[in-house]
Structure 1
């Protein structure tokens, strides 16, 4: 039998099955009757109205259809694959396509395989085969989501292949005896069922975002709502990729109080989280760090305001371990200060700064030279720069691209001596530098004879070469250390294409066991793009990436650091060659995206359009 794309046969199957299932949703008032496409509900049981203010999606659920009597092996395979996409409790309808033993042992929550295109399935053995019918299911793998909910993009042309074995039960009904090890979903089904969230852990006193995926509705296995799923994932510990460089304040074995399926808010916008007895004896400073982890994790999930998180003891529903407010959690989180200025190199090749009022259309930004030795006559000519988070020092690359100098932005005095990096060759070799939250300075040398990633401890120590595991023959053309100090984004050129990778920074004084600082486990941070032009870290552990997909035009998209794409994109990205985003968590006063284009320095305030800000290039925020 020839292979048949799942998209085609699933479409015909849905047409048949809609005769067996109905969608009913009522809205009151002017909204009228709401119909929900191919989503479905059981054709029996209680029918609940949908309030017009809620929208259809808040009530509609997708449910699988049980196997028909005497269904053929092909219909069993088709029905099972479709039922895996349903919202049934414990995926009970999908289990009806399995033998009794397979239904008991199947663990769909253990992993999710995401396919970039439709499934194909083909019969490898027919009904008359002595071993019974078998079907091969194949597709192109986009990513996997492991048991800790972490998303891992696939590299190259990874293929998915599994064999579904069918047998007849005592009633001569065909059933699957060997199901897939976990869930197998198309990209569109995965995006419908799951949503990205950040959970937070500590590294050197700073909270670090660890992106994971949870189900958008109640989880079929645990019966937990999305908030509770996320808290459970936080308590289970960080993802394997981030685990070596972060730590959790929760004692080992800490879980939600048994039976907790939902977490809710009280009238004072307080979330109360009941824990088991592993957390009962923690000291107050540790308890408050635990609560801060929870507050930052949960506040991104809810549309309502979250002012406080309170942790409850295991033995008493009302006995408090500790609590933190949003203000006190911010003090614990150790985030970089909100930037006061934006910086760039003007047409005279001076480092300048400016303030932009993002709430006023009338105020014109006026650049001013930065204070300190850089403007002492004769002014030092700069090709690129980076400014520390406290805005007291700048690292500047000289006009010829060979010298790197750390300069104070307060007081006067002569220009310091350049660092012993990037002295060879005629062409400019040093990338734009970058500071991390620990105060270390990063830069890459692109000299073909001295290709290397360099770190300057504290911005003043002896420069150290940093090993980048997995870099191979790739050349780093641009870099940006993350504000949390545990990740670094590298733009790597290989075979004429520039790809974006994120590596984990392991330090000897951290949880890593390396004897020197190194960058490990590079992962593709923009697998959908064949060429990346520029990038910048953005709030909440995201990246703003400017690049081009295969056959597409240049675009700018926000992406999670795990390589999964977020739908949000920026308008008018064509022509942008450099971007900068303020990595501030102050959503009440968001800073604009700043970019370099053919029009010079342009900026994009939240909810507005691009505006020309100044004549210059190499825009940066502190970091």
Structure 2
């Protein structure tokens, strides 16, 4: 075999080959299979991989392996077909989930000139463009810019047939099929006041996502949440079996190690509620959970479900010096009593339920304008304020420190050493108050960062955990606001003008590869606000034109001569 043959295939053709080689419904009942798969209660698509063809050339073997490996996460017998393409030795050492590279398109194959059919040795190179990567804990990381990736497969002959004898750990998965083979999962951790779940998005193999979710909950929160959440079970509690199984009563059975005996009935009840919130997959479905130790079922206390805290009340808009409210797609005069006389409002924030209303007066003063005007914070150039669910107002100087003003009037600094040397341009507190989204500029350029809020025993914010970086593919971000419990609306630069983007904190739902994407239809945007309860987005341009984005992609104009706007929160 001589010369280099480059095999190019269109994404659609490759996806069809990978996925339409055979499709079957994944079983929705029956006992869980060994190997870490779990019960699938929701209908889904299983991809049937094809075994090697007799006499297949090295490039065909590698192509077949890549397609079979992509199907592995959806199979009830994960990677059993993919292993048919490997020698026995390679099959025992290959770790498919060690790293998952999400590709823009499909890998292109090149057969090396050094391949020799007579000697029974061949080398095939696979190259692609990586847009994101997934680690063994299910954490998705978006690349700032697509990067080139090449991996090498060495093949030998076994019983006269080419098989892969050496390969890199991991998977190459096109972004178009990533969200089909991996399940976007919201792990839920308990807020310190035990009143809210704090979500942490992961991506797990479709056939074992529930087992993986339970395992990662037991492993504890990621570093970026850290002390911002409350542990539920004693440290060291783990799954006693490799799978979450389906019990005879229809409940999911979760078998735990002996440490569970140290947990109180209340703690076990919280754990059951935590699992229900996570494993219901956001559907609201009531899932039965049975906890077991070595002696059998263990009884938890009944714990009421926690309702996600979502700021209530309409958006407020400052137009012609007066306050207006958003009602549907119209602006109506607000009945919120505010005192704006003598102020120069340059930023606006609203608490849940419509209070407090806070403005930035000029560049360096925050004033609560509901009731008697009250100066909250004085500075040189303060960040636009954000109000958390406790009524505390967050702001601070762009170069630090971040400061929080409690409803009592007390002002407290929030430590964030990782912001040293960076300039913050935007700050927004999440609906449950356990996370903060920031945009900062410094070494490495502009970054959108989400960090857990560490509070003291009195609930006062004291520090921010080291952050998770999100939305790295969006250039020139100047503002980030919460559009959902796990999604941010970003004001970024692209396609010649400033526009609106959506980025997932851990990966965006409904987007190829979980990647950030632009929301088309409006350009020249200068400011954003969003509603976590509805997902609505307000966008303001330099001419004071206010646009509203709801479920449709249309951006109707709902106001002119607008200077400021803010949804509660």
TM surpasses 0.5? yes
| Residue 237 in structure 1 maps to residue 220 in structure 2 | yes
Give how far 1:98 is off.
Answer: 0.9
Name 2:448's counterpart in structure 1: 501
Question: Given that residues 393 and 406 in structure 2 are in contact (C-alpha distance below 8 angstroms), is that contact kept between their aligned partners in structure 1?
Answer: yes
Against the structure 1 CA distance between its residues 158 and 297, is the aligned structure 2 distance closer, same or farther, given a 3 Å change threshold? same
Give how far 1:178 is off.
Answer: 1.9
1: CA distance, partners of 2:53 / 2:386? 62
Question: Which shifted more, 183-192 or 432-441?
Answer: 432-441
Name 1:65's counterpart in structure 2: 50
| Residue 279 in structure 1 maps to residue 260 in structure 2 | yes
2: CA distance, partners of 1:72 / 1:247? 55
Root-mean-square deviation (Å): 4.1
2: CA distance, partners of 1:294 / 1:166? 44
Name 1:404's counterpart in structure 2: 366
Question: Given that residues 546 and 573 in structure 1 are in contact (C-alpha distance below 8 angstroms), is that contact kept between their aligned partners in structure 2?
Answer: no
Q: Give deviations 1:6-60, integer Å, cap 9, x for gaps.
A: 5369959988x9xxxxxxxxxxxxxxxxxxx834259xxxxxxxxxxxxxx9565
Question: Given that residues 497 and 524 in structure 2 are in contact (C-alpha distance below 8 angstroms), is that contact kept between their aligned partners in structure 1?
Answer: no
Question: Given that residues 490 and 501 in structure 1 are in contact (C-alpha distance below 8 angstroms), is that contact kept between their aligned partners in structure 2?
Answer: yes
- Secondary structure, in 3 states, of the residue corresponding to 1:189? helix
- Secondary structure, in 3 states, of the residue corresponding to 1:291? helix
2: CA distance, partners of 1:533 / 1:457? 24
Q: Give deviations 1:488-524, integer Å, cap 9, x for gaps.
A: 32334579x99551232464749xxxx962463451x
2: CA distance, partners of 1:453 / 1:156? 31
1: CA distance, partners of 2:436 / 2:11? 44
- Give the alignment partner of residue 349 of structure 2, picking from 377, 386, 401: 386
Name 1:542's counterpart in structure 2: 487
1: CA distance, partners of 2:15 / 2:292? 51
Name 2:278's counterpart in structure 1: 297
- Secondary structure, in 3 states, of the residue corresponding to 1:579? strand
- Secondary structure, in 3 states, of the residue corresponding to 1:483? coil
Question: Given that residues 6 and 111 in structure 2 are in contact (C-alpha distance below 8 angstroms), is that contact kept between their aligned partners in structure 1?
Answer: no
Q: Which has the higher strand share?
A: 2
Give how far 1:569 is off.
Answer: 7.3
2: CA distance, partners of 1:396 / 1:560? 29
Name 1:208's counterpart in structure 2: 198
Name 1:562's counterpart in structure 2: 506
Name 1:4's counterpart in structure 2: 6
Question: Given that residues 498 and 533 in structure 1 are in contact (C-alpha distance below 8 angstroms), is that contact kept between their aligned partners in structure 2?
Answer: no
- Secondary structure, in 3 states, of the residue corresponding to 1:154? strand
Name 1:122's counterpart in structure 2: 110
Give how far 1:210 is off.
Answer: 0.1
Against the structure 1 CA distance between its residues 463 and 186, is the aligned structure 2 distance closer, same or farther, given a 3 Å change threshold? same
1: CA distance, partners of 2:181 / 2:301? 34
Against the structure 1 CA distance between its residues 82 and 264, is the aligned structure 2 distance closer, same or farther, given a 3 Å change threshold? same
| Residue 167 in structure 1 maps to residue 164 in structure 2 | no
- Give the alignment partner of residue 75 of structure 1, picking from 60, 71, 78: 60
| Residue 40 in structure 1 maps to residue 42 in structure 2 | no
2: CA distance, partners of 1:151 / 1:111? 10
Give how far 1:198 is off.
Answer: 0.9
Against the structure 1 CA distance between its residues 275 and 371, is the aligned structure 2 distance closer, same or farther, given a 3 Å change threshold? farther
Give how far 1:264 is off.
Answer: 8.5
Question: Given that residues 316 and 334 in structure 2 are in contact (C-alpha distance below 8 angstroms), is that contact kept between their aligned partners in structure 1?
Answer: no
- Aligned pairs for 1:147-546 (under 5 A) are 147-156=136-145, 158-169=147-158, 171-205=159-193, 206-216=196-206, 218=207, 224=208, 226-243=209-226, 245-255=228-238, 258=241, 260-263=243-246, 272-277=252-257, 278-302=259-283, 305-307=284-286, 309-314=288-293, 320-324=299-303, 328-330=304-306, 335-336=308-309, 338-348=311-321, 350=322, 352=323, 354=325, 356=327, 358=328, 365-368=331-334, 370-371=336-337, 374-375=339-340, 378-389=341-352, 391-398=354-361, 400-405=362-367, 407=368, 409-410=370-371, 412=372, 415-417=373-375, 419-422=377-380, 429-437=381-389, 440-443=392-395, 445=397, 451-458=399-406, 460-462=409-411, 464=413, 466-467=415-416, 469=418, 475-492=423-440, 499=446, 501-505=448-452, 507=454, 509=456, 517-518=463-464, 520-521=466-467, 523=469, 525-532=470-477, 534-546=479-491
2: CA distance, partners of 1:247 / 1:312? 20
Against the structure 1 CA distance between its residues 580 and 275, is the aligned structure 2 distance closer, same or farther, given a 3 Å change threshold? farther
Name 2:85's counterpart in structure 1: 97
Against the structure 1 CA distance between its residues 354 and 379, is the aligned structure 2 distance closer, same or farther, given a 3 Å change threshold? farther
Gaps of 5+ in 1: 18-36, 43-56, 219-223, 423-428, 585-589
1: CA distance, partners of 2:170 / 2:502? 29
With a CA cutoff of 8 Å and minimum separation of 6, indicate the structure with the bigger relative contact order.
2
Question: Given that residues 101 and 170 in structure 2 are in contact (C-alpha distance below 8 angstroms), is that contact kept between their aligned partners in structure 1?
Answer: yes
Give how far 1:94 is off.
Answer: 0.8
2: CA distance, partners of 1:388 / 1:247? 25
2: CA distance, partners of 1:593 / 1:353? 17
Against the structure 1 CA distance between its residues 137 and 606, is the aligned structure 2 distance closer, same or farther, given a 3 Å change threshold? closer
Question: Given that residues 266 and 301 in structure 2 are in contact (C-alpha distance below 8 angstroms), is that contact kept between their aligned partners in structure 1?
Answer: no
Gaps of 5+ in 2: 25-41, 512-516
2: CA distance, partners of 1:39 / 1:128? 28
Question: Which shifted more, 386-395 or 124-133?
Answer: 124-133
Against the structure 1 CA distance between its residues 159 and 457, is the aligned structure 2 distance closer, same or farther, given a 3 Å change threshold? farther
2: CA distance, partners of 1:2 / 1:241? 46
Aligned residues between the structures:
532
Question: Given that residues 557 and 566 in structure 1 are in contact (C-alpha distance below 8 angstroms), is that contact kept between their aligned partners in structure 2?
Answer: no
2: CA distance, partners of 1:475 / 1:258? 48
